[in-house]
Amino acid sequence: MAITSSPLHTTDVSALPAVHYPLRALGVLVCGLAVMYGPTFVRLAEDVWSTDEQGHGPMILAACAWLLWDMRGSLFASRVQPAPWVALPLLLLSALTYAIGRSQRVIELEAGSLLLTLPACILLLCGWRGLRTAWFPLLFLFFMVPLPGVLVQAMTMPLKSAVSVVAEQVLYWAGYPIARTGVTLSIGPYQLLVADACSGLNSLFTLEALGFLYMKIMNYTSKARNVILGVAIIPISFVSNVTRVMILVLITYYFGDQAGQGFMHGFAGMVLFGVALLLTYGLDRLLAARFDQDGGARGSR
């Protein structure tokens, strides 16, 4: 009697889509990050993000989360090749940084460890290809980390002095009775001290972050165009901050000290960002006349 055998109906593992495992691992990763960094975000919200200087932190975090979610298809589009031999030492370094920052209450290290943790996790999930895909949100997350106090102290005074000098000269040329002593501006019967918040350091940090996000959304193909926009945000931020100080000086001169320190003080802060956005957009339109004709317009997404 002849015995015939039929081929077994086995599933080809290599033919299965590779996205299911990373997505399950992604769920575990998100839960782990929430447990680990949840107290950090609570502390940032209570101490750092509640100030005018670092109030942009939640916006940066939300933008990074949105960008990573938007590129999830690209991260898991093909079979992943994890790089554990690089990811695990990096993850160990980030855990050590987090532990030191958490135990010593150094929020810069505690929050900054996320800059190492996320790349390590992406290397574990997606490998080098995923890290290259997600480079922008990982770099953009840098703007969420509070500035070190030493850096703030070293840069605040020179910036305050520069803002005071320029604001005094512009108003003096405009015919106003203004004088300056250090970082104190005297106009009429009033004296205004240019505070640390008016130095422009934190607004520069915020505007630079917004500029990078703008360039990412616009998706310009010209590297020269992006570099010019990124560098130009520095003088744009300075000009915007000088405009803010001059507005506060004029409000105080015409309407009194209470008006300058009340609602108008917060309104001048909004003017700062309005002026910066207008100048950035105006520069972008000027650059469009040069780079759009040479293939530097928006690329396909």
198 is catalytic: yes
* Domain end (from 146, 175, 204): 146
**What mean pLDDT do residues 22-29 have?**
71
Please tell me the least confidently modeled range out of 104-113, 143-152, 198-207, 243-252: 198-207
Quote the CA–CA distance of 50 and 146 in Å, as a whole number. Answer: 12
Kindly indicate the confidence band of residue 92, based on its pLDDT and cuts at 50, 70 and 90.
very high
Give the pLDDT mean for 65-82.
80
3 located within any domain: no
Residue 253 lies in a domain: yes
Residues 21, 131, single domain; the answer is yes
Structural domain including 233 reads: 150-294
Q: Coil, helix or strand for 25? A: helix
* Long-range own/partner contacts, residues 108-114 (CB < 8 A, 24 or more apart): 108/145, 108/146, 108/147, 108/148, 110/40, 110/43, 111/40, 111/44, 111/144, 111/145, 111/146, 112/145, 114/37, 114/40, 114/141, 114/144, 114/145
Q: Based on the fold, state whether residues 21 and 70 are members of the same structural domain.
A: yes
Last residue of a domain, one of 146, 175, 198: 146
Active-site annotation holder among 79, 198, 285, 290: 198
Q: Is 64 an active-site residue? A: no
Based on the fold, state whether residues 59 and 120 are members of the same structural domain: yes
Placement of tokens 């589009």 in the chain: 77
Of the residues 244, 285, 290, 301, which is catalytic? Answer: 244
Q: Which of 85, 118, 146 marks a domain boundary?
A: 146
- Predicted confidence (pLDDT) per residue in 259-286, tens digit: 666 656 666 667 778 888 899 889 998 9
CB 124 within 8 A of CB 91: yes
Q: Is 242 inside a domain boundary? A: yes
Q: Are residues 26 and 119 in the same domain?
A: yes
Lowest mean pLDDT among 11-20, 137-146, 210-219: 11-20
Of 78, 71, 191, 181, which Cα lies nearest the Cα of 137?
Answer: 71
Q: How far apart are CA 264 and CA 21, in angstroms?
A: 54
Residues 103 and 105: their CA atoms lie apart, in Å, by 6
Which comes out higher in pLDDT, residue 246 or 73? Answer: 246
What is the side-by-side strand order in the sheet with 178-181?
178-181, 184-187, 190-193
- The number of folded domains in the chain is 2
DSSP E strands, the chain: 178-181, 184-187, 190-193
